[in-house]
Structures are given as structure tokens and as C-alpha cells.
């Protein structure tokens, strides 16, 4: 019965995620609000709430900061792999799509966070202000700067398909809010169901348990991004993934506030694998995105190479991480 409940909740989460991405697409195409902001801030925050919930549970209830670090870094590298997969699955749509300039800075910010964590954790640097790590303050500041940048984006839109809806903007926004509440509730329930399965079948400490939790927390981003790609809205889709990655790092600040057992930033061998492969994935995925905005006209002959090889390397990095983790 627990497994059936898990599957039912997973379907509900997918349904809410698809509806939310549809509303994001309509709002993007009907208004002057940037798709990068809608996808990268609003939708990203909503779809990342499962990570927030599990992180607070891991620190406040379980007192296990290594679970938080693993959950956040694991979710980010998975999200990047999803983005690469969608670039490869919809190559023609991606080439035709227009992507907001704010994504370039988002990529830089995510890469900078990885580099920062690698350096400070490698050197063992740790400072606290009122029992909050300086690292958490830095991560929150970087996220807020990213939000400000995405809110000032130029409002790129990819097509007029979203305008065909018969609903008014008030109705769309009302349904968007309702679906958001439903998604949060279903995602929290799905996390509880995941924990129940792990406890019942004693797989909580194995790779199978970690993958089960990973599916539960990343399902909203995965489903909404796939639907946005099908709609051809790569601007909002890219914003959703990159915004989710930035928001996930900001979750570490919240987790730090709820953890009273010392430093949140503990390192294990898996932490270093996640940081190294995560940074590599961001560098690879940045290549086709930066090429679209900066180098497409200068170097047209590189089009096929840039749009295929770097995303493929992202997937290779992800599977290499899984292999080394085992």
C-alpha cells in the first residue's frame, strides 16, 4: 500500500507540475514579465520546496547535516543533467529558441558558488556570525543578487502559443496559486511516503534509498521542465533549472539556521565528488547557452559541435558521479 500511495502521489505531483508550467508559459507570453524571472524565481522556488522541506527535517529533526549537503548538491547536479538531456532531446527547438541574457549571469553565479565551496571547504575555513556560518550568508547574498538580475531581464518570449488560452489573467494567476499550494502539499506527502518506504524496506542508507529520495525531491523540476521544453519555452525552462540550483544553495542558509550541532558544512568523499562533478557540469552546460547569446554569429561552424558535445559531457559527468558513488 505504501508503494501504491507513493506512485499516486508522484502522479499528482507530475500533474500539478505540468499545470504550473503551462500557466508559466501563458503568463510569459501574455505579459511583459520576463520568462527568466517567472521560471527562474517563482517556479524555481515552488518546485524546490521539497528540497527545503527535507533539508529542514534533516537538520532540525535528525541532526544530520551531511544529508542536507548531499541532498542539495545531488539535486543540483541532477537538475543540470535534466537541462542537458532536454537540449539533446529537442535540438531544433533549442536552436530556434531565444534565451534571456540573465541566464549567462546565473551560470556564472552557480559556478562561482561551486568554486567558493571547493576553496573554503578545502582550506577548512569557517567563520560564524550569531551561530550562522559566513558561507550561508554568502550563498544567500549570491541568490538574492541572482533574483535581482532575473527580475531585470528583457522579457524574451519564444512564441505566441500561450495566448490561445480562454482564461483571463486573474483566473490564470488564481489557478497558478492553487496549483502551487497543491504541489507543495503533494510534494511534502511524497517525501513522507519516501521516508516510510525507506524505513519499511531498510534502504534508507543505501544508494537505492538516496535515489528514491532524489526522485521525490526533483520530480517537480523534472516534470515542469520537460513540459516547458515541449511548449518550446526554453527561456522559462532554463530559468527554472538554473533558478532551482541557485535556490537550492540558498536553502543551506535556512538549514544552517535550524541546525544547532556545529558547522553545517561537513565534507565527505561524496561531497567532494558532488562539488567537482557539479562544477564540471555547470561549465559544460554553459557552453551552448553562452554560444547562443555571444558566439552564434561569430562562429556559425561550431553550431553542431557546441549544441551536442557539451550537453553530452554533462550526462557523462552525472553517470561518472553515480558510478564513483557506488
Q: Please tell me which residue, 271 or 326, carries the higher pLDDT value.
A: 271
The grid cell for 224 is 515542469
- pLDDT for the residue numbered 160: 47
Percent of residues, the chain, with pLDDT higher than 90:
32
The Cα 98–Cα 269 span in angstroms is: 39
Percent of residues, the chain, with pLDDT higher than 70:
89
Reply yes or no on whether the pLDDT at 78 is more than 70: yes
Reply yes or no on whether the pLDDT at 161 is more than 80: no
* Residue 278: band (very low, low, confident or very high) from pLDDT cuts 50, 70, 90: very high
Across 254-281, average pLDDT: 87
The Cα 145–Cα 133 span in angstroms is: 19
Reply yes or no on whether the pLDDT at 107 is more than 90: yes
Reply yes or no on whether the pLDDT at 162 is more than 50: no
- pLDDT for the residue numbered 153: 66
Q: Please tell me which residue, 276 or 10, carries the higher pLDDT value.
A: 276
What contacts 94, CB < 8 A, 6 or more positions away? 86, 87, 234, 288, 307
Which domains does the chain possess?
Answer: 2-325 (1.20.1420.30)
Instruction: List the one residue out of 247, 257, 25 whose CA is nearest residue 147.
Output: 247
* Residue 245: band (very low, low, confident or very high) from pLDDT cuts 50, 70, 90: very high
Q: Please tell me which residue, 61 or 243, carries the higher pLDDT value.
A: 243
* Residue 206: band (very low, low, confident or very high) from pLDDT cuts 50, 70, 90: very low
Reply yes or no on whether the pLDDT at 288 is more than 60: yes
- pLDDT for the residue numbered 68: 81
Reply yes or no on whether the pLDDT at 43 is more than 70: yes
- pLDDT for the residue numbered 158: 52
- pLDDT tens for residues 167-199? 788 888 899 899 989 988 887 788 778 777 777
Reply yes or no on whether the pLDDT at 121 is more than 80: yes
How many beta carbons lie within 10 A of that of residue 129, not counting itself? 9
Residue found by looking up cell 502551487 in the block: 180
Amino acid at each position: 500500500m505504501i508503494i501504491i500511495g507513493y506512485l499516486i502521489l508522484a502522479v499528482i505531483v507530475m500533474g500539478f507540475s505540468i499545470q504550473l508550467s503551462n500557466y508559466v508559459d501563458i503568463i510569459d507570453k501574455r505579459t511583459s514579465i520576463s520568462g527568466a524571472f517567472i521560471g527562474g524565481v517563482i517556479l524555481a522556488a515552488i518546485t524546490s520546496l521539497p528540497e527545503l522541506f527535507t533539508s529542514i527535517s534533516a537538520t532540525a529533526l535528525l541532526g544530520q547535516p551531511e544529508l542536507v549537503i548531499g541532498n542539495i548538491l545531488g539535486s543540483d547536479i541532477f537538475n543540470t543533467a535534466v537541462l542537458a538531456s532536454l537540449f539533446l532531446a529537442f535540438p531544433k527547438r533549442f536552436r530556434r529558441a531565444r534565451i534571456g541574457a540573465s541566464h549567462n549571469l546565473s551560470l556564472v553565479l552557480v559556478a562561482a558558488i561551486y568554486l567558493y565551496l571547493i576553496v573554503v571547504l578545502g582550506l577548512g575555513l569557517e567563520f560564524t556570525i550569531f551561530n550562522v556560518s559566513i558561507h550561508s550568508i554568502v550563498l544567500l547574498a549570491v541568490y538574492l543578487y541572482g533574483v535581482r538580475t532575473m527580475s531585470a531581464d528583457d522579457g524574451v518570449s519564444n512564441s505566441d502559443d500561450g495566448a490561445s488560452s480562454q482564461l483571463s489573467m486573474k483566473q490564470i494567476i488564481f489557478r497558478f496559486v492553487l496549483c502551487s499550494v497543491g504541489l507543495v502539499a503533494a510534494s511534502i506527502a511524497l517525501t513522507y511516503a519516501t521516508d516510510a518506504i525507506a524505513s519499511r524496506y531498510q534502504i534508507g542508507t543505501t544508494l537505492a534509498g538516496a535515489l528514491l529520495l532524489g526522485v521525490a525531491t526533483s520530480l517537480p523540476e523534472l516534470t515542469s521542465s520537460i513540459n516547458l521544453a515541449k511548449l518550446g519555452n526554453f527561456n522559462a525552462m532554463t530559468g527554472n533549472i538554473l533558478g532551482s540550483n541557485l535556490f537550492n544553495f540558498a536553502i543551506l542558509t535556512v538549514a544552517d539556521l535550524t541546525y544547532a550541532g556545529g558547522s553545517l558544512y561537513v565534507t565527505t568523499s561524496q561531497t567532494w565528488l558532488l562539488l567537482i562533478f557539479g562544477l564540471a557540469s555547470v561549465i559544460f552546460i554553459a557552453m551552448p547557452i553562452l554560444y547562443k547569446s555571444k558566439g552564434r554569429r561569430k562562429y556559425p561552424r561550431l553550431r553542431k559541435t557546441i549544441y551536442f558535445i557539451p550537453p553530452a559531457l554533462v550526462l557523462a559527468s552525472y553517470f561518472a558521479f553515480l558510478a564513483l558513488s557506488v
